[in-house]
């Protein structure tokens, strides 16, 4: 393992491999994604019955890879970047999870994201395990040719870990269809044959699926719609506030808007805006494309970060990064339903506060599972070389997400738990049953 002096060294793990689950390692000021995941597992252990004896499986990643990614920059110098790929659990099927390019990527973060993918796939009963990858880099600081070289070198370094029946990457933060096309081509060239199913989220011309781009946001909307029915909230005339306006936030905003819900507040890393009469998501999207920020949209008022969380709305959708709602601001939230479009945006302490205040939280492992569900559809279509219409894909996604929400809500009602605990009960039971039935080899 080579760590370049041009990038900061990786953050240390919270504990060694033999003490991953010890609550004493959870830093009170900022848990971090891996510690949040560990606490979530600790909270679900008492509900697992005899399967709880196998819970060690859930807190130990199956396989962790850290790689040096050297590339030749346009000016001729060599630069080094640090990359990761983690297989958390593959008892139920091949690993599945995105690849993110971000300067804040760390190994504990990737481990947590891989673990959440295991839970997410099991919660909606998609036959995948959990995996995740990333490179610590600011992709906006690279030229297009440098970005391609970075992608291809990273793919080559992790190539032995991925494959159509082994581990299938997908887009995540700062990665897109073009990145997936380069990954697919690199792996295929090294394998000596074209394998479109090695990644999902590809361009349509290379075996991508219709409906994939909006799938995560559509899943967010479907679970919110089902929660609204449960809480007797009419979508027409309701209000929503969204943090993050990338693919997830934008797609969710359009669907809420189409069903009569007013988008009243939006926050991104470059500001926040408010309009009580509603913000047109298409106009906001065009404004962001022109200006690079939500600020200054005609007809809106600027909001501080604290004011954003205090927005009066039926739905609050954090669709940015982890640990956005914490014990510091959970008491300020005025929404009735929080729909986690991002991974890990609500900390366990914040979960407790929100639960005490009667705020319904639809957990990330359910709410944002639309993306991996349509990735599964894409994978199936690539294997069969038979592709479905967008209407068919959206209908299948709607049905699967609706059924998953109903099943998890029933467990929550029967056992008197939150939706998050219920989702973890359902997912962990499926993973551990698979582990139990498979046994150990050798």
Residues with a catalytic annotation lie at 132
- Tokens encoding 125: 């009963």
């Amino acid at each position: 393992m080579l760590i370049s002096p041009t990038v900061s060294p990786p953050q240390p793990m919270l504990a060694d491999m033999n003490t991953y689950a010890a609550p004493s390692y959870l830093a009170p000021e900022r848990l971090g994604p891996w510690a949040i995941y560990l606490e979530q597992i600790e909270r679900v252990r008492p509900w697992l019955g005899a399967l709880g004896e196998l819970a060690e499986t859930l807190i130990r990643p199956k396989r962790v890879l850290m790689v040096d990614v050297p590339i030749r920059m346009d000016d001729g110098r060599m630069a080094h970047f640090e990359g990761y790929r983690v297989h958390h659990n593959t008892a139920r099927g091949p690993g599945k999870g995105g690849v993110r390019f971000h300067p804040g990527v760390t190994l504990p973060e990737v481990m947590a994201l891989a673990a959440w993918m295991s839970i997410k796939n099991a919660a909606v009963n998609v036959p995948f395990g959990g995996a995740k990858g990333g490179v610590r880099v600011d992709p906006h600081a690279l030229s297009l040719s440098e970005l391609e070289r970075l992608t291809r070198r990273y793919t080559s370094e992790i190539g032995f870990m991925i494959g159509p029946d082994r581990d299938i990457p997908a887009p995540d933060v700062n990665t897109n269809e073009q990145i997936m096309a380069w990954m697919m081509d690199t792996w295929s060239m090294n394998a000596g044959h074209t394998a479109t199913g090695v990644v999902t989220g590809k361009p349509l011309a290379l075996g991508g699926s219709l409906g994939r781009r909006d799938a995560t946001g559509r899943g967010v909307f479907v679970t919110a719609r089902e929660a609204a029915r449960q809480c007797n909230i009419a979508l027409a005339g309701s209000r929503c506030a969204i943090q993050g306006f990338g693919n997830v936030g934008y797609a969710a905003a359009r669907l809420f808007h189409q069903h009569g819900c007013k988008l009243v507040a939006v926050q991104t890393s470059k500001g926040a805006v408010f309009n009580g009469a509603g913000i047109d998501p298409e106009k906001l999207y065009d404004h962001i494309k022109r200006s690079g920020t939500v600020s200054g949209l005609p007809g809106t008022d600027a909001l501080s970060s604290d004011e954003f969380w205090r927005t009066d709305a039926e739905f609050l959708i954090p669709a940015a990064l982890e640990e956005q709602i914490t014990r510091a601001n959970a008491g300020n939230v005025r929404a009735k339903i929080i729909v986690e479009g991002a991974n890990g945006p609500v900390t366990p302490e914040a979960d407790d506060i929100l639960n005490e205040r009667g705020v319904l939280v639809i957990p990330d492992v359910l709410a944002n599972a639309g993306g991996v569900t349509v990735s599964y559809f894409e994978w199936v279509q690539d294997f069969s070389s038979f592709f479905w219409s967008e209407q068919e894909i959206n209908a299948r996604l709607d049905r699967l997400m609706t059924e998953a929400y109903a099943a998890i809500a029933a467990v929550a009602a029967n056992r008197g738990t939150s939706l998050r605990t219920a989702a973890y009960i359902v997912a962990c039971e499926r993973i551990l049953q698979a582990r139990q039935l498979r046994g150990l080899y050798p």
